[in-house]
């Protein structure tokens, strides 16, 4: 079990797919069929979290896939800030679509105090244009170096398809558990696996990853935020598929959808 957090911090993948498609993607986005979260469902789920937390959370990140692919991105920004007045709110993007966003998008980010975090991939971005946008609209845009200063490096998370790994030991050693909490369709999971591994099963027509209701907590059934935070700090059955001690730094590249990328 990890240390129970004082406040909730979580991510929402508002789209499942991506326009970059990194090999070994931890969210399995290259294997996902396009899916766009409904803003109405998003608002309902966030309202439930407001009820549980009294509106006190640390951070909310809008992610994907690539969140800027969502045609209603401004709605997600407005809903997020209107419900969580004090939280840190970020849009996590690869940056490719930034130069094509409307003035409304940037003005919404600025007025709602929502930052744009660009993950540092070894791709060419129009940095002069992005700087111009940042200065013009007074929006906070910053770069995230995922693995230090060397943007050529990326993670490959090795999986055990037999599900024979030690659950508690894995969770204790896992860098993602309770750090990359995901909200999806009214449920919270301590990491992406319970919600994203099914993309693998569907794409490769297998039942390699068995996900059950014990791998997440239903926010509409949870009686308190303390119950939620305790659950997120506890190992789940899905941990038996991971090999956190074998996480490998690799050179970034585009996915070929080879099964070896996720094993």
CATH of the domain at 28: 3.20.20.70
Give the model's confidence band at 219: pLDDT under 50 very low, under 70 low, under 90 confident, else very high: very high
pLDDT at 161 over 60: yes
Q: Is residue 60 part of a domain?
A: yes
pLDDT at 146 over 90: no
H helices of 174-224, in order, are 193-204
pLDDT at 152 over 70: no
**Whole-number mean pLDDT of the chain?**
95
pLDDT at 14 over 90: yes
Neighbour-count burial for 3-14, b at 16+ CB within 10 Å, e otherwise: eebeebbbbbbb
Q: Is residue 102 part of a domain?
A: yes
Q: Which residues contact 12 (CB under 8 A, 6 or more apart)?
A: 37, 42, 60, 61, 62, 63, 76, 182, 183, 184
Q: Is residue 210 part of a domain?
A: no
Say what the pLDDT of residue 149 is: 56
% the chain with pLDDT above 70? 97
Q: Is residue 2 part of a domain?
A: no
Residue 70: which of 103, 46, 92, 47 has the closest Cα? 92
Task: Determine the structural domain holding residue 194 and report its residue range.
Answer: 8-153+177-205+216-235+249-262
Q: Is residue 193 part of a domain?
A: yes
Query: How far is residue 229's CA from residue 243's CA, in Å, rounded to a whole number?
Result: 24
Domains identified in the chain, total number: 1
Q: Is residue 181 part of a domain?
A: yes
Q: Is residue 169 part of a domain?
A: no
- Predicted confidence (pLDDT) per residue in 225-258, tens digit: 999 999 999 999 999 999 999 988 888 999 999 9
Say what the pLDDT of residue 151 is: 56
- Tell me what the mean pLDDT of segment 211-236 comes to: 98
Say what the pLDDT of residue 154 is: 83
Say what the pLDDT of residue 141 is: 97
- Predicted confidence (pLDDT) per residue in 51-100, tens digit: 999 999 999 999 999 999 999 999 999 999 999 999 999 999 999 999 99
- Predicted confidence (pLDDT) per residue in 169-197, tens digit: 999 999 999 999 999 999 999 999 999 99
Adjacent-strand bridge partners of 183: 188
């Amino acid at each position: 079990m990890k240390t129970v957090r004082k406040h909730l911090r979580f991510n929402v993948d508002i789209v499942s797919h991506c326009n970059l498609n990194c090999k070994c993607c931890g969210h399995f986005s290259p294997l996902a069929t396009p899916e766009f979260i409904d803003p109405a469902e998003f608002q309902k789920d966030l309202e439930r979290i407001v009820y549980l937390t009294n509106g006190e959370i640390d951070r909310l990140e809008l992610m994907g896939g690539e969140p800027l692919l969502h045609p209603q991105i401004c709605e997600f920004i407005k809903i997020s800030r209107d419900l969580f007045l004090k939280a840190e709110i970020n849009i996590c993007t690869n940056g490719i679509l930034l130069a094509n966003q409307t003035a409304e998008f940037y003005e919404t980010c600025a007025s709602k105090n929502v930052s744009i975090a660009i993950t540092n991939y070894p791709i060419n971005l129009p940095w002069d244009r992005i700087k111009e946008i940042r200065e013009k609209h007074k929006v906070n845009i910053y770069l995230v170096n995922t693995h230090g200063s060397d943007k050529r490096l990326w993670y490959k998370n090795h999986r055990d398809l037999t599900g024979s790994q030690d659950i508690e030991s894995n969770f204790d050693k896992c860098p993602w558990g309770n750090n990359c909490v995901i909200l999806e369709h009214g449920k919270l999971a301590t990491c992406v696996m319970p919600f994203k591994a099914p993309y693998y099963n569907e794409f490769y027509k297998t039942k390699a990853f068995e996900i059950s209701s014990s791998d997440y907590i239903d926010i509409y059934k949870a009686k308190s935020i303390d119950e939620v935070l305790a659950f997120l700090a506890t190992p789940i059955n899905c941990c038996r598929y991971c090999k956190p001690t074998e996480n490998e730094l690799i050179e970034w590249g585009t996915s070929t959808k080879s099964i070896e990328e996720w094993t």
